[in-house]
């Protein structure tokens, strides 16, 4: 029974495919899975928007939306209807084709990432050997659509936003990759399914998630920072900083295209959170061995929910960074820590079992954190400014 | 240490988040259409016309002197004087506004009309839910829409209304005392010289102008009887107007006519 519940979606799909001739089964199976993913995440997006607005409201001691439906839970419906019925404006001087393609490419590339994410035991669309690589390739192409949007709008705010976005995403892409590389080093595989399997054992009822190791914890922190920056979330929401650049790269978008950008951003958050929980939090694994009776996909979505809550919590807490702070942080703190973490992971691998490697690896990381944090991130004290003017 | 500020911030927001479900003091939101804060006494936005008694039209304090119309900086008041007269709060016959319109889309809520009004007839209202879908008609309030009872005035600005009432009562008392004195003087005079004019006594509601007396004293005497009968004067008005509720529902034109009839009947009788 427990097994059946755990595999319910897989079994359902097989049962449906059983009615089809052999040659049809593979393509139709893929279409069914894709349809599920494409249907599920926008629904989660709708729930998350209202959750975010309520949550941030509570953080600011407000009520948040409470007019549409009981407790405002039907707010996303109203928003959806509004954005669908709004006029779709394309600026006269905009590059119409690119302007049209940008949101589509964003949404498509963002959804592509889910192809390799295991959402439960045996619940993965494509068990690709180079799954992680594929994921990062797809994640990196969102930069393209952001820049397309900013460039084609022919608006200086859009362009500034797009420039910022590209600078930021490329900087943090490096950190994102380097923080995930330690996982590949430890598991020896780029397949996300294998990475989850590698964490799938318990000792004393506690799981062997990679976050519970010094290098895994450090990598997780770096991954979380880089992932937040990668999805343009607060406090790294400079590309769409509404106080400086009307809405950044999607200033010139309205109606459904704007909704697509919004959707793309949230789905990218889901996807980054999903990958984060796959790499560091054991994917679809239960947090304690006796909770394995609960179906695996429930655990995956629980982890997704928790990380969305953290995203919202961070958004309600932190003010936006300045552009120079953003770049300094990426290149002077996150990147050195990631590189050091590669070394620490290697050390961990070759020091063998025992408490000594715990001590050594933790000490190295904590010392590095403290010293880089103190020296690298020290506030610059500038002297009085002097200006020289052309005569 | 790097990041302890972030942790402190996260703790603070978590406290806010959890606290907003527990403590009432944190949630300062007033969910407006359902619940509302009491307005402060000094609140004001647009003017209204005060009336005494139950009948808004008869009790209107405004005497159409048009001072407010002239003083209004954005010129949002439009007054048309009546042809006839009706007794004011002391019983003195006064003209009244046949038309009194305020365009609240023009009004800037400066309260100058209130300050210049010598009759305490126009005051500031606190009503603010005046949104309308009729851009021109809906924002042009006529005298019926502007009329509010003195009780309403007491409700929204109690202190101010008490002051106004005290002032009006003092004025009325003064006028009455003067009238009494004048009546006594007239009576003694009449007793001394029975050939004197009997007109003031027999025609209580007569207007001061047609008085034949040209000396300064009789002029005062002439005014006095009108005031002396003041408490009695308003009474016959609702009495004669058996169709009392009719003017309330009738439109302005009719309203202007009905009091004209009743007023005509009295002074000329």
For residue A231, being part of any structural domain is answered with yes
**What's the domain range around A213?**
2-376
Residue B23 has pLDDT above 80, yes or no: yes
Within 8 A by CB and 6+ apart from B170, the residues are none
Q: Does the domain spanning B39-257 belong to CATH 3.30.70.3270? A: yes
C-alpha distance from residue A324 to each of A146, A291, A315, A328 (Å): 21, 46, 20, 6
Task: Output the pLDDT for position B194.
Answer: 62
- Compare CB distances from B13 to A59, A369, A372 and report the shortest one's residue: A59
Alpha-carbon distance of A110 to A102, in angstroms, equals 12
Q: Are strands B93-103 and B122-124 parallel, antiparallel or unpaired?
A: unpaired
Query: Residues of A numbered 34-93 whose beta carbons fall under 8 angstroms of chain B's beta carbons: which are they?
Result: 55, 58-63, 66
User: Which chain A residues have a beta carbon less than 8 Å from that of B31?
Assistant: 63, 66
Alpha-carbon distance of B3 to A181, in angstroms, equals 24
Phi then psi dihedrals of residue A253, to 5 deg: -105, 145
Residue B238 has pLDDT above 80, yes or no: no
Distance from CA of B129 to the nearest CA of A (A): 20
Indicate the average pLDDT of chain A. 87
Task: Output the pLDDT for position B250.
Answer: 41
Instruction: Enter the pTM of the model.
Output: 0.72
Assess contact for A252 and A91: CB atoms under 8 A. yes
Residue A154 has pLDDT above 60, yes or no: yes
Highest-pLDDT range among A217-221, A252-256, B190-194: A217-221
Task: Output the pLDDT for position A224.
Answer: 92
Number of domains comprising chain A: 1
Return the structure tokens found at A177. Answer: 């990759």
Residue A223 has pLDDT above 90, yes or no: yes
User: Which chain B residues have a beta carbon less than 8 Å from that of A60?
Assistant: 16
For residue A389, being part of any structural domain is answered with no
Find which of B17, B27, B28, B31 to mutate to test the A interface (most A CBs within 10 Å of its CB): B17
What average pLDDT score do residues B119-146 get? Answer: 86
Residue B206 has pLDDT above 60, yes or no: no
Return the residue of B nearest to A54 by Cα: B17
Compare A267 and A29 and report the one with higher pLDDT: A267
Alpha-carbon distance of B205 to B224, in angstroms, equals 10
Residue B247 has pLDDT above 70, yes or no: no
Task: Output the pLDDT for position B210.
Answer: 46
Evaluate whether ipTM surpasses 0.90.
no
Alpha-carbon distance of B269 to B257, in angstroms, equals 18
Distance from CA of A163 to the nearest CA of B (A): 27
Alpha-carbon distance of B206 to B196, in angstroms, equals 17
Indicate the average pLDDT of chain B. 74
Residue A340 pLDDT level (bands cut at 50, 70, 90) = very high
Please state the length of chain B.
269
Question: How many other CB atoms sit within 10 Å of the CB of residue A244?
Answer: 14
What average pLDDT score do residues A359-378 get? Answer: 84
**Is there a contact between A59 and B19 if contact means CB atoms under 8 Å apart?**
no
User: Which chain A residues have a beta carbon less than 8 Å from that of B20?
Assistant: 58-59, 61
Residue B248 pLDDT level (bands cut at 50, 70, 90) = very low
Can you list the positions of beta strands (E) in chain A? 202-203, 206-207
User: Which chain B residues have a beta carbon less than 8 Å from that of A369?
Assistant: 2
Compare A323 and B249 and report the one with higher pLDDT: A323
Return the structure tokens found at A145. Answer: 């659509």
Task: Output the pLDDT for position A202.
Answer: 83
What is the b/e burial string over A97-133, where b = at least 16 CB atoms within 10 angstroms of the residue's CB? ebbebbbebbbebbbbbbbbbbbbbebbbeebeebbe
> Which residues share a beta bridge with A310?
none
Please state which of the ranges A52-66, A156-170, B3-17, B187-201 shows the lowest mean pLDDT.
Answer: B187-201
User: Which chain B residues have a beta carbon less than 8 Å from that of A313?
Assistant: 10, 13-14, 17
For residue A383, being part of any structural domain is answered with no
Q: Are strands B47-51 and B122-124 parallel, antiparallel or unpaired?
A: antiparallel
Q: How many CB pairs lie under 8 A apart between chains A and B?
A: 47
- Compare CB distances from B10 to A317, A333, A373 and report the shortest one's residue: A317
H-helix or E-strand spanning residue A250: none
- Cα angle for residues B115, B117, B123 (degrees, 5° grid): 70
Within 8 A by CB and 6+ apart from B57, the residues are B51, B144, B147, B247, B248, B255, B259
Alpha-carbon distance of A177 to A184, in angstroms, equals 10
- Compare CB distances from A377 to B2, B13, B27 and report the shortest one's residue: B2
| DSSP state letters, B9-46 | HHHHHHHHHHHHHH-TTT-----TTTS-PPPPTT---S
Find which of A57, A58, A235, A376 to mutate to test the B interface (most B CBs within 10 Å of its CB): A58
What average pLDDT score do residues B113-117 get? Answer: 90
For residue A170, being part of any structural domain is answered with yes
Assess contact for A199 and A210: CB atoms under 8 A. yes
DSSP reduced 3-state for A146: helix
For residue A381, being part of any structural domain is answered with no
Within 8 A by CB and 6+ apart from A168, the residues are A229, A232, A236, A238, A239, A326, A330
For residue A391, being part of any structural domain is answered with no
**Is there a contact between B13 and A369 if contact means CB atoms under 8 Å apart?**
no
What average pLDDT score do residues B41-56 get? Answer: 86
- Compare CB distances from B20 to A61, A313, A314 and report the shortest one's residue: A61
Gap between the terminal Cα atoms of chain B: 99
Residue B214 has pLDDT above 50, yes or no: no
Residue A113 has pLDDT above 70, yes or no: yes
For chain B, say whether A370 makes contact (Cβ under 8 Å).
Answer: yes
User: Which chain B residues have a beta carbon less than 8 Å from that of A61?
Assistant: 16, 19-20, 26-28
Please state which of the ranges B36-50, B61-75, B215-229 shows the lowest mean pLDDT.
Answer: B215-229
For residue A89, being part of any structural domain is answered with yes
Gap between the terminal Cα atoms of chain A: 86
Task: Output the pLDDT for position A275.
Answer: 92
In three-state form (DSSP H/G/I as H, E/B as E, the rest C), the secondary structure along A203-239 is: ECCEECCHHHCHHHHHHHHHHHHHHHHHCCCCCCCHH
The full set of domain ranges for chain B reads 39-257
Please state which of the ranges A242-246, A292-296, A323-327, B151-155 shows the lowest mean pLDDT.
Answer: A242-246
Alpha-carbon distance of A338 to A345, in angstroms, equals 10
Assess contact for A79 and A49: CB atoms under 8 A. yes
In chain A, the percentage of residues whose pLDDT exceeds 90 is 17
């Amino acid at each position: 029974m427990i097994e059946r519940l755990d595999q319910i979606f897989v079994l359902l799909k097989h049962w449906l495919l059983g009615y089809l001739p052999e040659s049809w089964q593979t393509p139709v199976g893929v279409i069914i899975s894709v349809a599920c993913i494409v249907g599920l995440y926008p629904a989660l997006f709708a729930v998350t928007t209202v959750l975010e607005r309520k949550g941030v409201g509570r953080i600011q001691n407000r009520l948040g939306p409470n007019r549409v439906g009981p407790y405002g839970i039907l707010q996303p419906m109203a928003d959806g209807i509004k954005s669908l019925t709004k006029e779709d404006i394309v600026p006269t001087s905009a590059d119409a084709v690119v302007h049209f393609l940008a949101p589509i490419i964003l949404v498509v590339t963002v959804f592509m990432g889910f192809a390799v994410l295991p959402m439960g035991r045996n619940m993965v669309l494509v068990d690709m050997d180079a799954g992680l690589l594929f994921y990062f390739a797809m994640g990196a192409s969102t930069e393209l659509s952001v820049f397309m949007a900013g460039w084609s709008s022919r608006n200086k705010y859009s362009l500034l936003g797009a420039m910022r976005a590209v600078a930021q995403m490329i900087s943090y892409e490096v950190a994102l990759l380097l923080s995930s590389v330690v996982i590949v080093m430890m598991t020896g595989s780029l397949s996300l399914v294998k990475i989850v399997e590698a964490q799938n054992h318990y000792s004393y009822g506690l799981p062997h998630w990679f976050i519970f190791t010094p290098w895994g914890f450090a990598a997780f922190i770096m991954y979380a920072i880089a992932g937040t920056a990668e999805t343009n979330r607060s406090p790294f929401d400079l590309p769409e900083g509404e106080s400086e650049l009307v809405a950044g790269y999607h200033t010139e978008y309205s109606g459904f295209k704007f909704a697509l950008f919004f959707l793309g951003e949230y789905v990218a958050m889901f996807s980054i959170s999903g990958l984060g929980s796959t790499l560091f939090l054991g994917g679809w694994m239960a947090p304690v061995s006796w909770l394995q009776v609960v179906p695996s996909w429930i655990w995956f979505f629980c982890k997704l929910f928790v990380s969305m809550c953290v995203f919202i919590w961070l958004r309600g807490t932190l003010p936006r960074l300045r552009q120079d702070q953003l770049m300094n942080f990426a290149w002077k703190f996150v990147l050195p820590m990631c590189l050091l973490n590669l070394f620490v992971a290697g050390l961990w691998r070759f020091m063998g079992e025992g408490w000594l490697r715990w001590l050594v690896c933790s000490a190295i990381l904590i010392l590095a954190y403290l010293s880089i944090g103190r020296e690298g991130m020290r506030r610059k004290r500038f002297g009085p400014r002097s200006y020289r003017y052309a005569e | 240490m790097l990041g302890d500020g972030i942790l402190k911030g996260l703790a603070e927001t978590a406290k806010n988040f959890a606290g907003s479900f527990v403590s009432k003091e944190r949630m300062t939101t007033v969910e407006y259409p359902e619940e509302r804060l009491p307005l402060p006494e000094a609140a004001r936005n647009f003017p209204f016309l005060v009336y005494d008694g139950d009948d808004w039209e008869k009790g209107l304090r405004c005497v159409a002197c048009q001072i407010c119309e002239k003083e209004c900086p954005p010129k949002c008041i439009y007054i048309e004087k009546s042809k006839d007269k009706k007794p004011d709060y002391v019983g003195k016959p006064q003209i009244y506004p046949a038309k009194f319109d305020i365009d609240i889309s023009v009004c800037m809520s400066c309260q100058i009309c209130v300050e210049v009004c010598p009759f305490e007839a126009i005051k500031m209202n606190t009503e603010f839910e005046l949104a309308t879908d009729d851009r021109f008609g809906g924002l042009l309030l006529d005298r019926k829409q502007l009329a509010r009872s003195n009780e309403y005035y007491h409700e929204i600005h109690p202190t101010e209304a008490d002051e106004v009432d005290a002032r009006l009562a003092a004025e009325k008392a003064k006028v009455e005392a003067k009238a009494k004195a004048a009546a006594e003087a007239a009576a003694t005079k009449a007793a001394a010289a029975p050939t004197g004019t009997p007109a003031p006594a027999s025609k209580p509601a007569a207007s001061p102008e047609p008085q034949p007396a040209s000396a300064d004293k009789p002029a005062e005497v002439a005014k006095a009887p009108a005031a002396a009968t003041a408490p009695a004067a308003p009474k016959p008005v609702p009495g004669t107007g058996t169709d009392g509720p009719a003017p309330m529902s009738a439109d302005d034109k009719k309203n202007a006519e009905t009091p004209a009839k009743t007023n005509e009947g009295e002074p000329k009788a």
